[in-house]
Structure 1
Amino acid sequence: MAVRIAHFLFAFFLAVQLGCSDEGGRVPVSGRVLIDGQPLQHGRVQVVPEGSRPAYGELNEAGEYTLMTYDDNDGTMPGTHKAMITAVESIDGWHNKWHAPKKYSTFDGGVTVEIRPDGTASDIELSWDGGKPFVEDNRKN
């Protein structure tokens, strides 16, 4: 029984190491997010390279972000990756303002970003599709 547990643990840790291995391949990355052609000024970008750790960055007033995986500006792996943009601002304990549609706040929202080996990224272009920023009331009725 102890041998089986040891084999299981070894296989588990090996799988984790192989699944999250990105040492030496990350590039510092900066990019920008636009919504209907204008900079998205609130929110966070997160990308998940296949077989690597997620990277994220906060948006500034110009819609720009710098990705980090472990440390400031250490970037992520080059390639085309799924991305999610969570553009919500807490107003008070019950209300949040959404600066982009909620559908972009999951990896199933259809957003991708190309991270080039030189550290540049394709623009992430979002759309309200006729909608507009809104305040959500989170109180239960």
Structure 2
Amino acid sequence: MRSFGMALSIIGLLAVGALGCGSQGNIAPVTGTITLDGAPLEGAAVSFQPIASEGELTVSGMGSYGKTDAQGHYSLKLIETDGEGASVGSHRVQVSVAEEQAGDALTTDKVPSRYRGFDSELTFDVPSSGTETANFDLTTKRKR
């Protein structure tokens, strides 16, 4: 019984190692700018989460994050290692800016819900060469 548990532990470590090795070789630098209704979106949390290819059960790499400056510019870092960039491939992109309401402990987000969370309508394909133009022009009103 003890050897069975050890075998499961070794298999688990090998699986985690294989996932890590596969994604590390496919990292590319990603920067861009985010605007909201034409103005730079300062202080926005930006996240890129790889989207699993059709027929795959898991995503193809680790997620990335960044934060916009006063000009709405951001650079991505890998969540697990803080290395620069993002995994090559398709990503779901989430953007959020939490604000505290005056005299209230609740927070609001000036970014519309369609750009936040796991069901964000934003996507981006990270090329193997990287990009400096992962730009998103968000709007508070839907375009018709």
1:51 aligned residue (48, 57, 60):
60
Q: Give a deviation string over 1:64-99, Cα, whole Å, max 9, x none.
A: 110011236x11122221111122133566042422
Letter in 1 for 2:95: I
Question: SS of 1:4's equivalent?
Answer: helix
Task: For CA contacts below 8 A with separation 6 or more, give which structure has more relative contact order.
Answer: 2
The answer to whether the 8 Å contact 2:26/2:128 transfers is no
Question: SS of 1:122's equivalent?
Answer: coil
Aligned to 1:116: 127
Segments of 5+ residues of structure 2 without an aligned counterpart are 51-58
Offset of residue 106 of structure 1: 0.9
In structure 2, relative to structure 1, the CA distance for the partners of 1:77 and 1:25 (3 Å cut) is same
> After TM superposition, what 4+ stretches of structure 1 lie above 4 angstroms from structure 2?
none
Superposed, 1:72-111 pairs within 5 Å as: 74-90=84-100, 94-111=105-122
Superposed, 1:59-78 pairs within 5 Å as: 59-69=68-78, 70-71=81-82, 74-78=84-88
Offset of residue 55 of structure 1: 0.9
TM-score (norm: length of structure 2): 0.74
Aligned to 2:140: 128
- State the percentage of identical aligned residues: 25
